[in-house]
Structure 1
Amino acid sequence: MPVTDEAIVRIKEMILSGELGPGSRLPKEADLAEQLGLSRNSLREAVKALSLIRVLDVRQGDGTYVTSLEPELLLDALAFVVDFHQDDTVLEFLEVRRILEPEAAAMAACTMSDQQIEALRAVLDGLGDDATVDELIANDLEFHRLVAAGSGNSVLHSLIDGLCAPTTRARIWRGHTEEGAVQRTRQQHRAIYDAIAQHRPDLARALTIVHISGVEQWLRTALG
């Protein structure tokens, strides 16, 4: 195992064991290197790598700290990687969304508060009849974000947030080229909202499958 990788593993073990918890400050570089039996250079590289994936927070002139380790923070790295996707992988992202989002909608139908449901309705009502495709896409992203957040599962929410961006271009393309796509999307969103507001998880799940599958099937046809 490369020395830097070993240093990463050793720091990870300290966090998992509870020796270093969220918000904890790491010992001084020289002390930690001696404690772990590693060179200061390899430790420095490990800290740099762990800071890039938001496990550690290096504060200039103050020290290095373990972050909050909240899922939305750690999964930022996923969003970063997702940004490098190629167009031919969009269908794969849609397939994953089709697996995750129906369950998020079903969970939202069970757990969303009246206030959250009202916020979801406000998003739908905020889109005028003369909305452009760009406005629809922005509204679509916010709708799906609120449903994912309403699941009450921060990991699921963060995963869905990270996976939505790669399919945005496909949705814009569909909105511009497929007749009735905008109106159909609005109707499907309204139906999903009604199922959630009525606390009907099975219906919310089924409607979300139909909704995402429609985009997926359209793209498969468009790509030939």
Structure 2
Amino acid sequence: MAVTDEAIEKIKEMIVSGTLRPGDQLPRESELAAVLGLSRNSLREAVRALSLIRVLDVRQGDGTYVTSLDPQLLLEALSFVVDFHRDDTVLEFLAVRRILEPAATALAAPRIAEQELDALTARLDALGGTPSVDELVACDLEFHRVIARSSGNTVLSSLLEGLSGPTTGARVRRGLAQRDAVGRTLHEHRAILAALRDRDGEAARSWATVHIASVERWLRSAL
């Protein structure tokens, strides 16, 4: 194991064991290096790496702190990484989204508030029948974000948020290239909303699967 990797593991162990908790300030660099049996250089590299993935927060002139470790914060790195992937890999992200999104939609069925459903319906109504692709994709992102949050599972909603980056590009290209994409998307959104209003988790799951799979099928045929 590389020295920096060892340093990362030792800091992680302190957090997992509860020696360091969310919001805690790390001991001074010299003190922490001595406690962990590390050189100050390797400790510094480990802190830098952990700050990049939002485990640690380095505050200039103040010190280094453990972040809130909130799943959404930690999974932000995922959305950064997936933006670099090619179209063929985007198919794999869409396949993962096809597994997770219906599950989140089914979980949201008994939980999503009526005012959230009203707001999503109003947003769809405001689009009209012939929105631009940009307007439709912006609405689509918000539509799925609200439903995922309503699942009550912060890890699941954060994972889906991280997967939205590469799949957004696919949705835009589909909207531009496929003649009936806009109408089908609006129809599928309304079907999902109807199932959520009925508190029918299985119908919501089914329509979400159809919705995500249609983008995946188009991209697979377009490649």
Q: After TM superposition, is the score higher than 0.5?
A: yes
Residue 158 of structure 1 aligns to which amino acid in structure 2? S
Cα deviation digits, residues 102-137 of structure 1 (max 9, x gap):
000000102112232233223322312331111111
| RMSD over equivalenced CA pairs, Å | 1.2
Q: 2:92 matched to 1:92?
A: yes
Q: Following the alignment from structure 2 to structure 1, what is the Cα–Cα distance between the partners of residues 126 and 70?
A: 31
Partner of 1:178: 178
TM-score, normalization: structure 1? 0.96
Residue 77 of structure 2 aligns to which amino acid in structure 1? A
Partner of 1:6: 6
Q: Following the alignment from structure 1 to structure 2, what is the Cα–Cα distance between the partners of residues 71 and 166?
A: 20
Q: Following the alignment from structure 1 to structure 2, what is the Cα–Cα distance between the partners of residues 8 and 146?
A: 35
Spell out the pairing of 1:118-137 with structure 2 (5 A cutoff).
118-137=118-137
Partner of 2:196: 196
Partner of 1:21: 21
Cα deviation digits, residues 7-64 of structure 1 (max 9, x gap):
1111101101111000000000111111111111111111000000000000001000
Q: Following the alignment from structure 2 to structure 1, what is the Cα–Cα distance between the partners of residues 69 and 107?
A: 24
Q: Following the alignment from structure 1 to structure 2, what is the Cα–Cα distance between the partners of residues 24 and 122?
A: 43
Q: How many residues align structurally?
A: 223
Q: Following the alignment from structure 1 to structure 2, what is the Cα–Cα distance between the partners of residues 80 and 178?
A: 28
SS of the aligned residue for 1:145 comes to helix
Structure 2 unaligned blocks of 5 or more: none
**Could you tell which deviates more after superposition, 58-67 or 160-169?**
160-169
Question: Once the 2 structures are TM-superposed, how far is the Cα of residue 150 of structure 1 from its aligned partner?
Answer: 1.2
Question: Once the 2 structures are TM-superposed, how far is the Cα of residue 83 of structure 1 from its aligned partner?
Answer: 1.2
Partner of 2:42: 42
Residue 6 of structure 1 aligns to which amino acid in structure 2? E
Question: Once the 2 structures are TM-superposed, how far is the Cα of residue 97 of structure 1 from its aligned partner?
Answer: 0.8
Cα deviation digits, residues 148-167 of structure 1 (max 9, x gap):
11111111111111112202
Q: Following the alignment from structure 1 to structure 2, what is the Cα–Cα distance between the partners of residues 212 and 59?
A: 41
SS of the aligned residue for 1:92 comes to helix
Spell out the pairing of 1:17-166 with structure 2 (5 A cutoff).
17-166=17-166
SS of the aligned residue for 1:57 comes to strand
Residue 89 of structure 2 aligns to which amino acid in structure 1? T
Q: Is the 8 A contact 2:22 2:67 kept in 1?
A: yes
SS of the aligned residue for 2:127 comes to coil
TM-score, normalization: structure 2? 0.96
Q: Following the alignment from structure 1 to structure 2, what is the Cα–Cα distance between the partners of residues 101 and 187?
A: 17
Q: Taking every aligned residue pair, what percent have the same amino acid on both sides?
A: 64
Question: Once the 2 structures are TM-superposed, how far is the Cα of residue 69 of structure 1 from its aligned partner?
Answer: 0.2
**Could you tell which deviates more after superposition, 56-65 or 167-176?**
167-176
SS of the aligned residue for 1:147 comes to helix
Structure 1 unaligned blocks of 5 or more: none
